[in-house]
């Protein structure tokens, strides 16, 4: 009778859990090959609006060639896995927010393109992962992790087993609206620019800013990250932001320098920065609780 009870109980424990899964390449992998592993989320019973975690891999067998975040269900990255600062020798860090939440099957977070350095066994694992529910309270969602184990063959391959669809991406990033902000407690009161664009195909590669010219030239653009402190603090210069996706498509936005009527930045800061703060604190709380539970009594 006890075992019957367990059989009934165990499935019910996982019915409301979400699954974070690594997809396994369907073809054989040889030394020198490049191949792609997707990180996907399945959550049918809960709306998930925030995720974080680490992806680990054996550095003696595999090397990260690049990370692709195009087509991600993540709308706003706190730690973008495609950024170099979130990539170490043996892991990739990620965390992000999905305003409105996600409930579905195999929603892609991002993809990692690995290069096989030599033959042998390679286990790619997810760790320290957590998810929050889109219910106004940020409750923790039980998260099941599914890793992959690969066998790298010794025969020389030098194949690129990647489906990043760069050659098929002819669509520029979506329209976006950069905003100017100013606060005496930030950047010594200097005016700064905030911006974020979305590209659902190949993902955003970089941003560039042009200051001073009514018609930007090739040499007036310079690579920038948000937030960006303005060189001209008077507000009299023409200002443009360019978003470039990984396929080379561009979207240019002209910035409204009329700060007195530019209230959009307050809405932007309120919606995004408070979301990041709340999510960040919630994730920290989850980690603290987990660590306390793991300590011996």
d(CA 237, CA 241): 13
Q: Is 132 helix (H, G, I), strand (E, B) or coil?
A: strand
User: Within its chain, how far is the Cα of 185 from the centroid?
Assistant: 28
SS (H, E, C) 214-242: CCCCCCCEEEECCCEECCCCCCCCCEEEE
- C-beta neighbour count of 210 within 10 angstroms: 23
Q: Identify the residue with better confidence: 193 or 57.
A: 57
Q: pLDDT at residue 285 above 90?
A: no
Q: Over 70: is that where the pLDDT of 167 sits?
A: no
**What integer best gives the mean pLDDT of the chain?**
81
C-beta separation of 91 from 55 below 8 A = yes
Place of tokens 């992962």: 129
Q: Domain limits of the chain?
A: 17-164, 170-262
Is the preceding peptide bond at 58 cis, omega within 30 degrees of 0? no
pLDDT value for 72: 86
Q: Residue 17: pLDDT above 90?
A: no
DSSP label at 118?
S
Q: How many Å apart are CA 267 and CA 293, to the nearest integer?
A: 39
Per-residue confidence (pLDDT) for residue 185, from 0 to 100 = 79
Confidence of residue 87 (pLDDT cuts 50, 70, 90): very high
Number of residues written out for the chain: 297
Specify whether the CB–CB gap between 67 and 74 falls below 8 A.
Answer: no
What is the CATH number assigned to the segment(s) 17-164?
A: 2.60.40.680
Domain 170-262 class? mainly beta
Q: What is the mean pLDDT of residues 172-190?
A: 87
Q: What angle do CA 35, 78, 24 make, to 5 degrees?
A: 20
From the number of C-beta atoms within 10 Å of its C-beta (0-12, 13-18, 19+), residue 241 rates as buried
Q: Which pTM value belongs to this model?
A: 0.63
- Common-topology check for domains 17-164 and 170-262: yes
CA 188 – CA 182 distance, rounded (Å): 9
What pLDDT is recorded for position 260?
Answer: 45
Tell me the mean pLDDT in the region 245-255.
90
Other residues' Cβ atoms within 10 Å of the Cβ of residue 100: 9
């Amino acid at each position: 009778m006890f075992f019957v009870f367990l059989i009934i109980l165990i499935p019910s424990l996982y019915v409301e859990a979400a699954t974070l899964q690594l997809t396994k390449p369907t073809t054989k992998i040889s030394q020198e090959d490049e191949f792609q592993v997707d990180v996907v989320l399945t959550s049918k019973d809960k709306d998930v609006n925030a995720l974080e975690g680490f992806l680990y891999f054996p550095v003696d067998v595999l090397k990260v060639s690049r990370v692709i975040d195009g087509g991600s269900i993540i709308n706003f990255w706190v730690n973008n896995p495609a950024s170099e600062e979130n990539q170490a020798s043996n892991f990739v860090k990620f965390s992000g927010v999905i305003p409105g939440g996600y409930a579905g099957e195999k929603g892609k977070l991002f993809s990692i393109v690995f290069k096989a350095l030599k033959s042998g066994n390679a286990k790619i694992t997810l760790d320290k992962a957590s998810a929050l529910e889109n219910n106004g309270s940020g409750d923790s969602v039980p998260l099941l992790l599914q890793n992959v184990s690969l066998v790298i063959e010794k025969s020389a391959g030098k194949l690129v087993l990647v489906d990043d669809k760069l050659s098929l991406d002819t669509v520029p990033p979506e329209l976006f609206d950069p905003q100017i902000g100013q606060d005496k407690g930030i950047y010594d009161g200097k005016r700064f620019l905030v911006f974020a664009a979305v590209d659902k195909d190949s993902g955003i590669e970089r941003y560039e800013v042009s200051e001073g010219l009514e018609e930007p030239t090739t040499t007036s653009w310079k690579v920038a990250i948000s937030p960006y402190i303005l060189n001209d603090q008077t507000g009299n210069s023409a200002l443009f932001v360019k978003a470039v996706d990984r396929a080379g498509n561009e979207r240019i936005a002209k910035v409204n320098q009329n700060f007195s009527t530019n209230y959009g930045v307050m809405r932007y800061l309120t919606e995004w920065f408070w979301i990041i703060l709340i999510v960040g604190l919630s994730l920290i709380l989850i980690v603290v609780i987990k660590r306390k539970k793991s300590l011996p009594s």
